[in-house]
Structures are given as C-alpha cells and as structure tokens.
Amino acid sequence: MRKYLLPILLLTLFEIIAVTLWLTLDNLFYLINFSYIGFAISLGTVLYLKKYRHARRFVQLFVGLYMLIYLGLICRENMQIEGFWYYLLLGVFDAAVIHYAVAKIFGPLVFGRGWCGYACWTAMVLDFLPYKVAQSPRRNIGWMRYCTFAASLVFVAGLFISGTGHLEEVMFWAFIAGNVLYYAAGIVLAFAFRDNRAFCKYLCPVTVFLKPMSRFALLRIKCDTTKCIACGKCEKVCPMDVDMRDNSRKRKNGTECILCMECVKACPKKAL
Ligand code: SF4
Ligand code: SF4
Ligand code: SF4
C-alpha cells in the first residue's frame, strides 16, 4: 500500500480542489473536471510504478486531448494565456483563471512543472517529434518568453480598450489561432534547434509563471550523492538539461524540470 501513497495523495489533492470549487462556486462542472484530471494523473502514476513505459504519455494524451478538444473546441473555453487575461480583466474567477491558478501559478508550489510533463496539449504534440533530448547546445534566447507573454496581455487588453464586440466569439477564434501558432512555432523551433522542447525553453509565455513558482516545488528530483557514481547517464536523457545531481534550489535549469522521470529510470544506482 505504501508503494501507492503518491497516487493516493495526488488523487486526494485533486478531489479536495474538485469538491472545494464545486461547493464554493456551486458548479458541478468543477467536480467532474478536476476529478477526471486527478484520476488520470493518479492512474498514470500507478502505471509508472508498475513500470509501464508510456505512463507519462498516456496521462499527457488523456488530459491534453480532453482539455484541447472537449474544453477548448466543444465547450469553447479559451484555456490559453489569452483566456486567462480575458477572465482576469472581466474580474471573473472562472474557467481559465481557475485553470491557471491550479495548474500554473499555485499548483507548481506542490508539483512543480508537472503540468508541462503530463497535461499540456502543446507539448503533447511536440513530444511526438524526433528530438526527445536536445541535440544542440542551449541558446541564450529565453528572453523571448517575455515578448510572447507581453503580446498575449496587450492583445486581450487591446480588445477591451477598443470596445470590440462579441468578445466570447473572438476569444474562441483566438484559441484556435493561438494553438495553430504555438504548434507551428513549436515544430519549427524543434527542427531548427533539434530539440522537441525548444518552444518550452525559449518561447512559451506560461513559463513566466511556471519557472519562478516551481523553484519552490515540494515534489522534485533529488539525488542521493552517497549512491551516485557520476556516470552521467541521467543527464544524457533529460529533455530539459537539468543538473539533477545538484540538490540545491539553484541548480542549473532547475525550474525547467517537467518531472518526466527519464533520469530516474536511467540511473543504474537508483540514486535519483
Ligand atoms: S513550457 Fe509551455 S508549451 Fe511547454 S509544456 Fe509547459 S506550458 Fe506547455
Ligand atoms: S529527466 Fe529528470 S531532471 Fe530532467 S526533466 Fe525529466 S525528471 Fe526532470
Ligand atoms: S545516473 Fe545515477 S549514478 Fe549516474 S550520474 Fe546520474 S544519479 Fe549518478
């Protein structure tokens, strides 16, 4: 039973969120939504513990497709960063604001960049590309994320300032256009830098929230230095270039860890 403590804790955490939002906002949708996501993540964790190779990809598709197709295209909720600004400027604590609060702003204090490893529908597609580990050195162009972050805010603020009508319709089409742009930029960057996760490293505006918050994450990869033989196998499989052998919060690219567990699987000494 101890072995399954993590999935039980994760399921409990999501159920607490689901029930709290359901009762406080009097909306059954939140109970179903967060229960579904919690169930998918817990099931994925169980599959990982049972050594199923594709456990992470299973959760990523289960959650990512649900959010992209059901919430985004069928329910017409803009869950991108533009949707977050939209609801925030409307002064409504709903939809994308709740999604951002749970998955991308406060959640990372507990589960770090788990969103990026197990739920993001952009990375869900990028992870199918051939460069699972970067095959070129990291570029010093992380500043680009601040440009896309500012552009998303300016775009939504501009809609309000200009008094654009039919904002819900506009936000739906912005969701479609935003996703097409993200996928196109992500695929181009992946092939240009031979790195599936180049978009995450340099351009994704959400990382402006994710990086500082995940610095304090409770769940993180730690190294037992008494077991480590410095073979370097862990670093070779990391898609985010994290120095996972350094246990400090300041470790190289520490705020980029997506908890994919590839380093843990690769370690011959079970030091991670
Ligand atoms: S960095 Fe952005 S695109 Fe990449 S997985 Fe995280 S949220 Fe998705
Ligand atoms: S390989 Fe390890 S350090 Fe790198 S992103 Fe995955 S879990 Fe994090
Ligand atoms: S794979 Fe394990 S033993 Fe090898 S360097 Fe990494 S932590 Fe140390």
**Amino acid residing at 80:** Q
138 secondary structure, DSSP code: P
Q: For residue range 19-60, what is the model confidence (pLDDT) as tens digits?
A: 999 999 888 999 999 999 999 989 999 998 988 889 999 999
pTM strictly above 0.85: yes
Ligand 3 atom 6: residue of nearest CA: 234
What is the mean pLDDT of the segment spanning 180-195? 97
Contact 62, 39 (CB under 8 A): no
Residue whose CB lies within 8 A of the most ligand 1 atoms, among 105, 115, 122, for a mutation test: 122
Structure tokens at 21: 């939002």
Contact 13, 111 (CB under 8 A): no
pLDDT bucket at 3, cuts 50 / 70 / 90: confident
Q: How far apart are CA 237 and CA 258, in angstroms?
A: 13
pLDDT at 123: 96
- Helices then strands (H, E): number in the chain? 14, 0
Nearest Cα neighbor of 11 from 62, 45, 60 is 45
Distances (CA, A) of 46 to 30, 143, 200, 267: 24, 38, 27, 20
Q: Can you tell me whether residue 184 is helix, strand or coil?
A: helix
Q: How far apart are CA 178 and CA 10, in angstroms?
A: 31
Distances (CA, A) of 123 to 157, 168, 232: 27, 26, 26
Q: How far is the CA of 247 from the centre of ligand 3 (A)?
A: 13
Q: How far is the CA of 210 from the centre of ligand 3 (A)?
A: 27
pLDDT at 93: 80
Distances (CA, A) of 91 to 39, 85, 94, 143: 30, 10, 9, 29
Q: For residue range 71-102, what is the model confidence (pLDDT) as tens digits?
A: 999 999 899 999 999 999 998 887 789 889 98
Any idea of the CA torsion for 135, 177, 125, 115, to the nearest 10 degrees? 90
Q: How far is the CA of 99 from the centre of ligand 3 (A)?
A: 36
Q: Which domains does the chain have, with CATH numbers?
A: 78-124+137-214 (no CATH), 220-272 (3.30.70.20)
Q: How far apart are CA 127 and CA 229, in angstroms?
A: 30
pLDDT at 113: 94
pLDDT at 163: 87
pLDDT at 16: 94
What is the mean pLDDT of the segment spanning 246-258? 94
Name all residues whose Cβ lies below 6 A of ligand 3.
223, 228-234, 245, 266-267, 269, 271-272
